[in-house]
Structure 1
């Protein structure tokens, strides 16, 4: 039935997607596969599933027996390891789980002329990810219904629901294969250029030579997924290593996870082999390529936290938009040669904030930005890419409107939001553009999670701000005990963290609203709109007798300042960095009742004490300005007491240091005592930059150099600020 369409897709190098929802899914899927095998007799197959779900291994074995040959079965939860893989036939078992992130990742692995198949018995029942959104047996299905509705509208999508088939063919006449034109008189050797799959990749090779110029330089490479940007960078590094450039003998590659950057290493090896270069590979125990050595040149992968303090000639940051702008700032301050590579309109991070960041960088340093347009895994105009962009709103953007003091705030029911595609695109576009990391799962949360409010701010009749509010707390004793013992995660994020990690069990009994996300369109930020939206949420919470309003997010200085300015108090900071989000999670709370106020004062006091005692160890890599802001914004713990009088010898030591008679290390104990006393019992208000310097050097124990990198200052400037701070404290505490 579909053979002629599959023949056309091979001719046009575009893909088909088949979605099967039926109790007879096995028969219907194999019917599709039989038609495809008439066109491609020996396809490479990727099969995705959860191997531990009941019946899933048996289904996988059935497919493996019928599809002899190159067959790779991949556990969904390990899928990140296979980024960059591609296949002719990609099959997704969604009988037990239907999660947008996995759908996006695996469908993207299908190459031109290929077929992706998603099969299930029912999209709504017994789905693991949906169950995580269920509370009191209630969960919505707005995301799934929209997913299926979009499938009916798009050409190239085969939707089979029991005996009903929806399919509008796509034509190869509309697809455009990428050109592989090599630039005239290329400076990169022809053997490397011949490995490129598109003119865009050839362009990247030549444009990358920019980084070899004198002085501090940043090269930014951006593209939608599937354009071959990581492969291009890998080929360029192969050329650089082969040429034995003395000024580039030590190259660092970093990325949110190792697997984000593995394609760079893979194509570096391909390039070196093409150039017939001699090289050595060093791998980890589990087989990861960690270092490539070519003569005196060493290229190795290092995690972002370690990479920013590494010494070298060039650093390559892959998936830069997902790392966080604070880390990027630190890297760019510390390195002279930087290549930033990132996905725009991707499912790993939106890249919108990254684009604004690039525009700012252009004003302060020498930067070249190169964009890639043509996909290499499939033809431009591919119907599956278009479907995935629309159904997952990967290209959603905030409305183009400027706020004119006419803010109107409304609560929008989820059903109204998902029944109006223009409104949904506008609201989700605001969330995407305001946050540097988004994923398709966020869209499903917006549509299916029933225990939430969606508050939208309008100007000139168009959305410019959004708050997504989730109901939490009100837990009974059994639920609290289960969380405390680590038996269950009830879906109440803030009570869960406070119960499990702080052990304040009764906090879970209070009723709270967690502001999951609050966002203002980029053009309208800094105008007080977010605070106005927040005030409306607070008023509504007070009317409904809510005990507290809070938020949890990866801590960022400007974001935290927003919450503190609006009366929210930090009460929790994770002790372990979230590697996926590349940061520490913080919880801020605004108490609305007396019992909530008692909890907030106590918990924030313990957080202050924890920072004062462990910044040199647990939070060594945290921005010192952030630590100073948290210390300023928390209550004093009454259980922690210092003497009113500063010990005489401490005062004398600090005076001698300020006058230049003894070095800092000789007075580190005295500096720590007086700095701790300042944050516990401030008599004066030091400036933010001085507080940051004291935190970096005194509490975190950073060297002058690394403190300077964190603060954007020279070593001398940091020490000057430390001396100034100690002098001012000395004057306020001198007995």
Structure 2
């Protein structure tokens, strides 16, 4: 039976039941390609999306890195050509574009051949010196095992003989509830009403709108904006990590009011810089923005909506919810959370959506671990080839990483299975996962390669710590040694602030001592709390990047902990970094917090003579201008900066260390100009 004859009646049934049809078709590439062409010619999809090579001329070929462009877009047929690679991130993201009655068709070799086939689509996940054209990972084998638990039609084609290897049972049709013509669902209508209430109700009561993909969340933002403009509200801004992430909302606004300006996109950095007066600020895909940025926006704007995808394929949304909702509870107790559960492109029990959630481990567990202090803990280490035998532990680890870090993506799951240099050290109690650390084994590079990295002539993938030591710190010999980088550490949300993170790091150190590792390192977007956590674990800062990290909006700090490496050397690197930071602070981000600066700088030793003190007293009394005592002020501040009140110290550091103008300082700290800044300094001298 031809593939077309097999699938046509099923597609008609899928359309009648308002679901998508997931099909895995396996066999020889040329034979599958021919059958696929015939199928496309027969069903004539209005819009065909294609992942992989050999895309037909009439299709839209999806490329890696364009996940945000998929938000809100739709297609009638989606083909994945896995013969040329299997991009897990893109497959998970694109599935949400397929409409009800549509066909999701995966073309692949038979299982046994697919297991042994390299996956060049995941080449960015593999460290040097692995060859992505030859390396065989474990991800495909794991993923196919998950598919066996899903509702999927699995077909094998061999010399025109079509065999059914796995049957698909279609869910019963569920008729949607009646809803006003403007809306796609009753829940979307409720979401629009909740957005309008943010504007009409009390100030400082933001709305957090969460939904899985395909629930009409972004459309609700645009519909609400159109209604607000019709009510006379004209100062509406939508922001997101990229303009594409806001495109759906703007499109729905323009469909309602095609010739009426009112809702416009503004980039986050521009929004923070200009801080325009607004009737309402909308933030779409908020989980993709750093929490620090969201906090700034929440603090400044009194009417704001945070919308995010529950299972965000650009970065999982649950971690954002857990961390950011806690901040809202502390600062704006009147905030509301609304979840949209009802899909609008397909019905609730859609087999493709279940397949994506199940196979990529996107379904979050409902139970939370219980920790009993004083009772024994167990430590386990997993390598990439351990997960197939313990899939339930992989699921628990990936869910924990997703909850703790908003950047966790589907490709991180693939990396755990495909990258032999990644390892997880997990802390258990009574078989409950309490905390885990994701480790990257790096270094042991050839001396000649280390020299090329030091000279800026080479970069190698998967060796961030080794590369930074060789290039940024000019210590190429360290890249030859055995290094481990702590990429992420995660503690179950209810168990945080009970010392489990520090305990896990101590266990990691002991474990790596036994493995003869020379250095432990970590790199992260710096904050005062994180810096204190790692310093308490005996990690020593050796470098602060000059630019803010895209994910955290903070510069990254590199920290080292010697295991078998030289303690004296790491102390020298720390001193060099602290000296450089002090002398070159004006070259770093202007908003770098004083809490961070004070933990990283090392001011030169300073003394104040009796004459210096007398001059400063006259300045404090308003009898000397600032410019005549600037040098004495610098020496005085270098001696006393740790004892001063934090706000005043931050203002003074901005002037004396960061060399910022009085105007910049006044705006940054909301002071009434140069005179107010000088008065604050004078008060600190008087009270010191």
TM range (shorter): 0.7 to 0.9
Q: 1:350 to 1:244 in 2, by over 3 A?
A: same
Match of 1:150 in 2: 146
Cα distance in 1, alignment partners of residues 105 and 463 from structure 2: 35
Deviations 1:431-487 (A, max 9, x none): 111222210011112222212332111123211111222211121123213434343
Flag the 1:150–1:410 CA change in 2: closer, same or farther, 3 A.
closer
1:27 deviates by 2.8
Is 1:316 the counterpart of 2:282? The answer is yes
Shift of 1:722: 5.9
Check 1:642–1:626 CA distance in 2 against 1; reply closer, same or farther (3 A cut): closer
Aligned twin of 1:170: 169
Provide the secondary structure at the position in 2 that maps to 1:530: helix
Alpha-carbon distance in 2 for matches of 1:351, 1:697: 39
State the partner residue of 1:286: none
Within 5 Å, give how 1:96-107 maps onto structure 2: 96-107=84-95
Q: Does 1:440 align with 2:410?
A: yes
Which of these residues, 703, 714, 730, is aligned with residue 665 of structure 2?
703
Matching residue of 1:211:
198
What is the DSSP-based 3-state SS (H/G/I as helix, E as strand, rest coil) of the residue aligned with 2:15?
helix
Aligned with 1:410: secondary structure?
strand
Q: Does 1:46 align with 2:14?
A: no
Q: Tell me which residue corresponds to 2:247.
A: 262
Q: How does 1:190-209 map to 2 (within 5 A)?
A: 194-209=181-196
Indicate how the Cα distance of structure 1 residues 315 and 4 shifts in structure 2: closer, same or farther if over 3 A, else same. same
CA RMSD after TM alignment: 3.4
Residue 261 of structure 1: CA displacement? 1.6
Aligned-pair CA distance for 1:586: 2.4
Whole-Å Cα distance in 2 between the matches of residues 602 and 341 of structure 1?
Answer: 47
Partner of 2:444: 474
> In structure 2, what is the Cα distance between the partners aligned to 1:96 and 1:483?
32
State yes or no: 1:395 paired with 2:395: no
Q: Distance in 2 between matches of 1:673 and 1:268?
A: 58
Measure, in 2, the Cα distance between the counterparts of 1:507 and 1:386: 47
* Other-structure match for 1:299: 264
Alpha-carbon distance in 1 for matches of 2:207, 2:167: 42
Distance 2:351 2:576 in 1: 55
Question: Residue 2 of structure 1 corresponds to which residue in structure 2?
Answer: 7
What secondary structure is seen at the aligned counterpart in 1 of 2:193? helix
Partner of 2:80: 92
Alignment equivalent of 1:534, drawn from 505, 508, 519: 505
State the partner residue of 2:238: 253
Deviation of 1:333 after TM superposition, in Å, equals: 1.3
1:503 match: secondary structure: coil
3-state DSSP of counterpart to 1:111: strand
Does 477-486 or 201-210 show the bigger shift?
477-486
Q: Which runs of 5+ in 2 are unaligned?
A: 1-5
Which SS does the other structure have where 2:548 is aligned? coil
Whether the aligned pair in 2 keeps the contact of 1:625 and 1:691 (CA below 8 Å) is no
| 1:99-498 map, 5 Å | 99-120=87-108, 122=114, 124-125=117-118, 127-130=120-123, 132-137=125-130, 141-158=137-154, 160=156, 165-173=164-172, 175-176=173-174, 178-179=176-177, 181-182=179-180, 194-212=181-199, 213-245=201-233, 249-273=234-258, 278-279=259-260, 293-294=261-262, 299-304=264-269, 306-307=271-272, 310-313=275-278, 314-356=280-322, 357-365=324-332, 366-397=334-365, 399-405=367-373, 406=375, 407-484=377-454, 485-498=456-469
**Would the aligned equivalents of 1:507 and 1:599 in 2 still touch at CA under 8 Å?**
no
Give the TM-score taking structure 1 as reference length.
0.81
Q: CA deviation at 1:585?
A: 2.7
Distance in 2 between the 1:715 and 1:429 partners? 51
Structure 1, residues 54-88: CA drift from partner, whole Å, max 9, x if none? xx4xx22xx22xxx5xx323332344334321101
Residue 3 of structure 2 corresponds to none
> For the residues of structure 1 that align with 2:677 and 2:300, how far apart are their CA atoms?
15
Once the two structures are TM-superposed, the CA of residue 371 in structure 1 deviates from its matched residue by 1.2
Q: Quick one: distance in 2 between partners of 1:690 and 1:593?
A: 42
1:592 aligned residue: 563
Shift of residue 385, structure 1, vs aligned partner: 0.9
Unaligned runs of 5+ in 1: 50-55, 183-193, 280-292
Name the CA shift for 1:654/1:243 in 2 (closer, same or farther; >3 Å): farther
SS in 2 for 1:239: helix
3-state DSSP of counterpart to 2:331 = coil
Q: Secondary structure at the match of 2:83?
A: coil
Count of residue pairs the alignment pairs up:
661
- Structure 2 CA distance for aligned equivalents of residues 215 and 664 of structure 1: 42
Does the 8 A contact of 1:308 with 1:334 survive in 2? no
TM-aligned CA deviation for residue 685 of structure 1 = 4.8
1:172 to partner: Cα distance: 4.3
TM-score of the aligned structures, taking structure 2 as reference length: 0.86
1-structure distance, mates of 2:51, 2:281: 34
- Cα distance, 1:661 vs structure 2: 6.3
Cα deviation, 1:593-643, whole Å, max 9, x if unaligned, reads 453x34423333333234334444431133443333333xxxx4xxx8565
Question: What is the rounded CA distance, in whole Å, between the counterparts of 2:618 and 2:216 in structure 1?
Answer: 60
SS in 2 for 1:108: helix
Deviation at 1:230, TM superposition (A): 1.3
Q: Deviations over 1:124-163 (max 9, x none)?
A: 3251424742555485633211111122331134354867
Alpha-carbon distance change, 575 to 93 in structure 1, aligned in 2, over 3 angstroms: farther
What CA deviation, in whole Å up to 9, does each residue of 1:498-555 have, x standing for no partner? Answer: 3233433222122211112211101111111111111111112222332211112233
**Cα distance in 2 for residues equivalent to 1:482 and 1:99:** 32
- Is the contact between residue 237 and residue 281 of structure 2 (CA under 8 Å) also seen in structure 1? yes
SS at match of 2:531: helix
1:606 to 571, 576, 590: 576
Distance change (3 Å), C-alpha of 1:328 and 1:647: farther
The match for 1:525 is 496
C-alpha contact 2:290 2:551 (8 A) present in aligned 1: no
Q: Structure 1 stretch 152-161 or stretch 110-119: which is displaced more?
A: 152-161
Report if aligned partners of 2:608, 2:636 keep a CA contact under 8 Å in 1. Answer: no
Shift of 1:404: 0.9
Distance 1:204 1:665 in 2: 57
CA deviations 1:18-77 (Å, max 9, x no partner) are 33454x224324425644654x4343112234xxxxxx4xx22xx22xxx5xx3233323
